[in-house]
């Protein structure tokens, strides 16, 4: 199979299957055309094991090994939409690269992504996968997301794909003026997708509803 036919998808990964997923997300309230187009474009079947490829366009999280999951498309769409609403920035810090699905959805919509993942083995595969999809505006680093990535900060946006009891202070420090952060916050079973905007002298916080993520492992 050529990489081109892989990318276009065949059979269970056909345009119709993807359209159904997009329609479902629209029905659930995703409005951003850019985001919906990306959900249609990004070949999610290439981010999971071949054995799970037939389920890649279901709106569900799936295992990706190492006890981690690929995020549910609705949640990726919701987080991306929130992050980019009236966004005029350029740089985004992503914590929890995983298989890189969220990264691939976001990459064409921003200038540059800096992405941190604690499991080097996952990162190695993800780097290669995104290269094969011709995504080049992402810089990766193995490391502990609790620390952010000070070198390239502050960031106009920060997106975190793992849950913590509170927002890591280092991430708030690395948020640019008027920058926004979206992440799941709270204990297992009671996580809320939280949206933070940095104002002149305070952080404004908003809940976007209940979610369920793997934990942001402390001190990785």
Please select the residue that binds ligand SAH; options are 69, 91, 191, 194, rule is CB under 6 A: 69
**Residue 98 touching ligand SAH (CB under 6 A):** yes
Q: Which residues pair with 115 in a beta bridge?
A: 94, 140
Please select the residue that binds ligand SAH; options are 36, 119, 182, 183, rule is CB under 6 A: 119
Contact 127, 153 (CB under 8 A): no
**Residue 109 touching ligand SAH (CB under 6 A):** no
Tally the residues of the chain: 220
**Residue 42 touching ligand SAH (CB under 6 A):** no
Least distance from ligand SAH to the Cβ atom of residue 200, Å: 30
Does the annotation count 71 as an active-site position?
A: yes
Q: Determine which one of 71, 115, 207, 212 is catalytic.
A: 71
Rounded-to-integer distance, Cα 80 and Cα 98, Å? 16
**Residue 116 touching ligand SAH (CB under 6 A):** yes
Segment near ligand SAH (CB under 6 A), from 32-40, 143-151, 170-178, 195-203? 143-151
Least distance from ligand SAH to the Cβ atom of residue 101, Å: 4
Name the residue among 175, 194, 190, 187 with its Cα closest to residue 216. Answer: 187
Contact 181, 187 (CB under 8 A): no
DSSP string of 1-21, one letter each residue:
--HHHHHH--GGGSHHHHHHH
Name the residue among 144, 220, 155 with its Cα closest to residue 182. Answer: 155
Please report, as ranges, the residues that interact with ligand SAH according to CB under 6 A: 68-71, 76, 95-99, 101-102, 116-119, 122, 144-146, 161-162, 214, 216-217, 220
């Amino acid at each position: 199979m050529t990489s081109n036919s892989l990318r276009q998808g065949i059979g269970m990964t056909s345009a119709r299957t993807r359209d159904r997923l997009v329609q479902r997300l629209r029905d659930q309230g995703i409005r951003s055309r850019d985001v919906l187009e990306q959900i249609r474009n990004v070949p999610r079947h290439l981010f999971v094991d071949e054995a799970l490829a037939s389920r890649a366009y279901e709106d569900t999280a799936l295992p990706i090994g190492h006890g981690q999951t690929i995020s549910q498309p609705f949640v990726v769409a919701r987080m991306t939409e929130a992050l980019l609403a009236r966004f005029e920035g350029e740089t985004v810090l992503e914590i929890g690269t995983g298989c890189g699905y969220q990264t691939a959805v976001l990459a064409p919509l921003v200038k540059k992504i800096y992405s941190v993942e604690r499991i080097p083995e996952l990162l190695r595969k993800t780097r290669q996968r995104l290269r094969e999809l011709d995504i080049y505006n992402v810089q990766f680093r193995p490391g502990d997301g609790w620390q952010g990535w000070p070198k390239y900060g502050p960031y106009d946006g920060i997106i975190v794909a793992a849950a913590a009891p509170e927002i890591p202070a280092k991430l708030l420090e690395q948020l640019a003026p008027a920058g926004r952060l979206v992440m799941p916050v709270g204990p297992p079973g009671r996580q809320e997708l939280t949206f933070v905007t940095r104002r002149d002298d305070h952080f404004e916080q908003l809940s976007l509803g209940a979610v369920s993520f793997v934990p942001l492992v402390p001190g990785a």
